[in-house]
Structure 1
Amino acid sequence: MPPKSSKLTNHQMKELRDAFDLFDRDHSGSISSTELKQLLLALNFKPSESLLRKVMKEMDTDGNGTIEFSEFAKAMSSVYSRALTDEEMHRAFRCFDKDDSGFITRDELRDVLKQLNHNISERRITEVMKAVDENGDGKISFDEFVIMLKET
Structure 2
Amino acid sequence: MSNYYLSLGITAEELDTLKEAFNLYDVRNQGYITIGQFSHIISSLGIDCDPKQVAKMADMNNDNQIDFNEFVLTMFRYLPPHEPAPVCFKNDHIYTDKDIATDEEIMQWFQFFDKDHDGRISQNELEQVMIMFNSRLSKKEIKEMMFTADINRDGFIDYDEFKQLLPPL
TM-score bin (small chain) = 0.3 to 0.5
Which structure's CA Rg is the greater one? Answer: 2
Structure richer in helix, relative to its length: 1
